[in-house]
Amino acid sequence: MKTRDKILLSSLELFNERGERNITTNHIAAHLAISPGNLYYHFRNKSDIIYEIFQEYENLVDYYLDIPEDRAITLEDLTFYLESVFDGLWSYRFFHRDLEYLLDSDPRLRRDYREFTNRCLAAINRIFGKLAEAGIIEPQPEELRSAMSLNVWLVITNWMAFLKTAHASEESASLTLTELKQGIYQVLTLEIPYLTPEYRERVMVLREKYRPVLPEAAPA
C-alpha cells in the first residue's frame, strides 16, 4: 500500500480509538514509523487528512442510502438502511465526536457536511414515503414527515454520544458495534405509533432484536 493511503488508514484508526483531538501529526507519523516530514510531504496538514476521510465516509453513506425509485420498499430494505447507517457511523465514529470543531476549522468540510446532512434527511424522508406506499406505516402529511425525519436523524447521530457519556460505566473504550446498533431500537420506537395493523407485529419483533441493555443507575 502507498504511504499516502497508509496515512489515511492509520489516521482513521487512531482518531476512532483515541479521538481526533488527542492525535497529532506526530502521533500518526510515529504510528506508521515514518518521519513527520514524510507525512507533510503527502498532506499539507491534519485538516486535509480529515477532509479526505470525510469524503470516504460521505461516499459510503451515499452509496448505502441510494433508495430505489422503481420498486416498493420492504422491511428488509429498512433493516438494511438502518444497519448500514450504523455501520458507517461506527467506521468513522471519530467524526461526530468532534464535529463542531472540525467544521469550524475547515470551511470546505462545513459546506460539504451541510449538504451531506440535507441528503441524509431527504433520504430518510423518502424512506418514510416509501414505507407508507408499501403499507408499512400510515401516510402522514409532509410537514409531519419532515419533522419525523429530522428526529430520526437526531436520534441516530446522537446515539453514540449517549452510549459513550451516559451508558459506559467505566472507560469509553468498551463501546462495541453491537451496542451501537441498539440505536436501531430507538429509531424504530419513533415509528411505532405510525405502523399499520398489518405490519405492526413484524416491526415489533424486528425492534425487539435490538433492545438496548441499559445500565442500572450508578450506585452513589
- For residue 166, give the DSSP letter: I
Burial class (CB in 10 A: 0-12, 13-18, 19+), 112: middle
Chain CA centroid to CA 193, Å: 25
In this structure, the number of other CB atoms found within 10 A of the CB of residue 73 comes to 20
Is 104 one of the binding residues for DNA (CB under 7 A)?
no
Is 1 one of the binding residues for a copy of itself (CB under 8 A)?
no
C-alpha cell of 196? 399499520
- For residue 216, give the DSSP letter: P
The residue whose grid cell reads 461516499 is 59
Q: Which of residues 191-220 bind a copy of itself (CB under 8 A)?
A: 192-194, 214, 217-218
State the Cα–Cα distance between residues 54 and 67, nearest whole angstrom: 22
Is 153 one of the binding residues for a copy of itself (CB under 8 A)?
yes
Residue from the set 13, 16, 25, 31 that interacts with DNA by CB under 7 A: 25
Is 105 one of the binding residues for DNA (CB under 7 A)?
no
Instruction: Write down the least CB distance from residue 10 to a copy of itself, Å.
Output: 21
Residue 3 interacts with, from DNA, a copy of itself, none (CB under 5-8 Å by kind): DNA
Residue 111 interacts with, from DNA, a copy of itself, none (CB under 5-8 Å by kind): a copy of itself
Binning the chain into helix, strand and coil, the percentages to the nearest 5 are: 75, 0, 25
Is 110 one of the binding residues for DNA (CB under 7 A)?
no
The answer to whether residues 50 and 109 touch, using CB atoms and an 8 Å cutoff, is: yes
Name the residues that contact a copy of itself, by CB under 8 A.
Answer: 19, 21, 97-101, 103-104, 110-111, 113-115, 117-118, 122, 144, 146-148, 150-151, 153-155, 157-159, 161-162, 164-166, 169, 172, 185-186, 189-190, 192-194, 214, 217-218
Name the residues that contact DNA, by CB under 7 A.
Answer: 2-3, 24-27, 33-38, 40-42, 44-46
